[in-house]
Each structure stands twice: as structure tokens, then as C-alpha cells.
Amino acid sequence: MGNALTDILAVLPDDAMLRQFHLPKGSMQHVDMKTGDKIWQTLKTMGIQYVAGGSAANTITCTAIFGMKSGFIGKIGDDDLGHLYKSDQEQYGIRSTLLKGTNPSGRAMVFITAPNAERTFAVYLGAALELVPEDLKPEYFEGYDYFHIEGYLVQNQNLVRKAVEYAKAAGCIISLDMASYNVVESNEAFLHDIVDHYVDIVFANESEARAFTRLGPREALDEIAGHCSIAVVKVGKDGSMVRSGDEYHYIEAWPAATIDATGAGDTYAAGFLYAHSLGMPLRACGEIGSIIAAKVVEVIGTKIDIPRWKDAKAEIRSLMAAVNQTQGQD
């Protein structure tokens, strides 16, 4: 469950448009409908690309490609972007529960500027923000083994609470991606409560882990692991750490020719959950997350191309075969 946002990607020749819309380079700003429309109209005059996005949606698109039966709960508007979003998910075989709001569909306008493909975001949440607790039904959760939720939704605490209650009642393993350090900072008490009472698997990057615990990554990992069954702290190109009870693993990042790190965390979560669903040991879950994350950093945007998917699947198959062989010897 997450914000249904279409990424509108534009590669800009220079920073002029960023200045025009007062967007600090590299930042993520929320914009209102009027500004959002103005930016979109300006972008339409250039070559732009539309790609279904949003953190949790990116994760479950990946789990669907891995072959897991995946579903998504979110809210879209009754417009072209909403239709595009729906058909994009259907194309991956995702069972979407895309409810309709009254505002236009949410979108993240992504400006990619030279020299390092730096990204600046202007996000209009629109209909995505209209998802309310009353929209949820127990049957949306039934029949699933995992429920994955993005931290961006905690601006609506009642929605998140109802969702995890239904997910727990349906017997799901609940995973939470903390999303961003400002989300954690502004909802700290609530997040602690949810992690203590509902969440089984926590994914946090270094700055989210610090905001949640005031600790560096390694100590934060131990602290979070004391409150859920599996804690994962990701440290970008330096890899990730996982802990469950007394079991700890440091996992190096998989080699990659990085051009754009967007989506690394979302795909890592997908690989991790996929491996977990197959009963892989903890270390292998982290390694499989790292393999797939190393593919998304090699492309612009959050969609891994087919050749890279093939490579990832081959690498994951051989890793799993090695794990199964060692286990067979034990």
C-alpha cells in the first residue's frame, strides 16, 4: 500500500527551469495543484517520459516480475494519468485496488540535470492523499502472505493503523519501508508504536535509522532489531546490514556501474521479500536485495530493463543454488 504516483521524467539541458519554479537542485518539494499543473504544462513542451512509480508500488512491481502474486492499494484520479497508472500495473500482472479520488492523479515531476544526472523532484500528491481508513476493507488483505507499506503514508496515521490491523488479522508478515528521514522525524512516536506492535520487517536507510534511534547505522540496527523480528539498515554503495535476534550479517553492495541511485531502496526491499518468501536464510535475503538494487542504479529511473532483469535472475538463481547446496550438506 502506498502513494500512487506517476513519475514524469524530464531531462533538462540546464537549470533554468529549476530556477523558474524555485526548486533547489537535488531537493524534493511538495507542490499544490496549481503549481503542479503549471510545471507539467511547461514540461509537456519537452520530451517527457511517464512511468508508474511510488515507493511501495515500485517494490511490488519488482516482486511481481520475480513471479510473486502481488497486489497494490492506492488512490488515483479519474484522468489519463490514473488510467495510465492502472494499465501499467496490470501489464505486470499486479492485482491493483486503485480507488478513485476527486483530485487529479498524483505525480512526481522529476527533473534530471547535468552533469551527474542529478534529480530534483516536485511532487503533487493529488488523489493519492485522499486514501482514508474508511476506504480499507479486510478482504483487500486476505490471501496475502506479506503486507508492505511505505512510510510516506504516515502523514495519515489512522490509515496506517487500520491497514496494519487488517494485515495482521489476515495473518500477513508486515514490512515497513521508513521512506525518508523527515517522515521519521515528524512521526517518531507513532512509528515506534507501529514497529513495536505490528511490523515484522523494518527497512531503513542510514538517515532514517538515525532519525528513528539517534544512533549510527550499526547501533541503530541493533536497536531496531530489539523491536521487530528483522531489521535492515541500508547504507547505499556501502551495502546493508541485517539483524534478526542474535543473527547479524553485513552485506556488501553488489558491483554496479551507477548512474542514478533512485529506486535502490525500493528494489532492495523487493529482492529481500522475494527471497524471504522462498525461505532463504537471512544473509541470502540481503544478498538478493543487493543484486536487484545494483541493477536499478545502472538505469535512469526506477524500471530495470529486460537484459538487466535477465542478468539479475541468473545471478540470483546461482546464489540460491549455492545456498541450497550448503544447506543440503549441513
Ligand X SMILES: Nc1ncnc2c1ncn2[C@@H]1O[C@H](COP(=O)(O)OP(=O)(O)OP(=O)(O)O)[C@@H](O)[C@H]1O
61 by Cβ neighbours in 10 Å (0-12 / 13-18 / 19+) ranks as buried
* Shortest reach from residue 210's CB to ligand X, in Å: 12
Of 82 and 265, which has the nearer Cβ to Mg ion? 265
Q: Would strands 106-113 and 5-12 be described as parallel, antiparallel, or unpaired?
A: parallel
Q: How far apart are CA 199 and CA 9, in angstroms?
A: 33
Of 24 and 93, which has the nearer Cβ to ligand X? 24
Of 174, 202, 264, 288, the residue at the interface with ligand X (CB under 6 A) is: 264
- Tell me which of Mg ion, ligand X, none is bound by residue 235, counting a contact when its beta carbon lies within the kind-specific cut-off of 5 to 8 angstroms: ligand X
User: Interface with Mg ion includes 265 (CB under 5 A)?
Assistant: yes
Please count the other Cβ atoms lying within 10 Å of the Cβ belonging to residue 262.
21
- Tell me the window of 65-73, 92-100, 104-112, 263-271 that interacts with Mg ion (CB under 5 A): 263-271
- Tell me which of ligand X, Mg ion, none is bound by residue 144, counting a contact when its beta carbon lies within the kind-specific cut-off of 5 to 8 angstroms: none
Of 127 and 288, which has the nearer Cβ to ligand X? 288
325 by Cβ neighbours in 10 Å (0-12 / 13-18 / 19+) ranks as exposed
* Shortest reach from residue 174's CB to Mg ion, in Å: 17
User: Interface with ligand X includes 36 (CB under 6 A)?
Assistant: no
User: Interface with Mg ion includes 286 (CB under 5 A)?
Assistant: no
Q: Give φ, ψ of 217 to 5 degrees.
A: -55, -45
Contact pattern from residue 294 through residue 313 relative to ligand X, giving x for each residue in contact according to CB under 6 A and a dash for the rest = x--x----------------
Distances (CA, A) of 96 to 16, 28, 72, 177: 38, 27, 5, 20
DSSP β-bridge partners for residue 118: 113
Of 71 and 239, which has the nearer Cβ to ligand X? 239
Of 88 and 260, which has the nearer Cβ to ligand X? 260
* Shortest reach from residue 182's CB to Mg ion, in Å: 12
- Tell me the window of 4-12, 65-73, 84-92, 265-273 that interacts with Mg ion (CB under 5 A): 265-273
Of 7 and 266, which has the nearer Cβ to ligand X? 266
Q: How far apart are CA 2 and CA 156, in angstroms?
A: 11
Buried b (16+ CB within 10 A) or exposed e, 160-175: bbbbbbbbbebebbbb
Cell of 305: 530493463
Q: Which residues lie near Mg ion (CB under 5 A)?
A: 265
